[in-house]
């Protein structure tokens, strides 16, 4: 396992390395998608990027106006 933790490479999802002393991926980009129903063909679900987490700072950015909530509405439900 020590050898695996030292690996550092570019993979299909981008740069891959682990935080020293853990099994956590370091500087992993995270993108948040929202389902906007089916595409015009009626077979494929349309996913739209509505946010991301900066891999260096951990800062979350969300485009709340791009989110489609249950009931096909763009206003968040009351909590």
Tokens of 70: 């249950």
Please say whether the beta carbons of 16 and 25 come within 8 A: yes
Q: Please count the structural domains in the chain.
A: 1
In a domain, residue 36? The reply is yes
- At 21-46, the pLDDT tens digits run 887 888 777 899 999 999 989 999 99
In a domain, residue 77? The reply is no
Average pLDDT, the chain: 87
Q: Which run of H or E residues covers position 34? A: strand 30-38
Please state whether the predicted TM-score (pTM) of the whole model is above 0.85: no
Domain extent for 28: 2-66
In a domain, residue 72? The reply is no
SS3 21: coil
In a domain, residue 56? The reply is yes
Per-residue buried b or exposed e for 48-78, using 16+ beta carbons within 10 Å of the residue's own CB: eebbebeeeeeeeeeeeeebeeeeeeeeeee
């Amino acid at each position: 396992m020590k050898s695996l933790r030292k690996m550092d490479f570019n993979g299909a999802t981008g740069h891959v390395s682990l935080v020293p002393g853990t099994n956590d991926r370091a500087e992993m980009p995270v993108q948040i998608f929202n389902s906007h129903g089916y595409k015009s063909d009626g077979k494929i679900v349309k996913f739209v990027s509505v946010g991301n987490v900066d891999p260096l700072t951990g800062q979350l950015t969300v485009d709340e106006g791009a989110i489609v909530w249950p009931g096909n509405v763009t206003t968040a439900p009351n909590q």
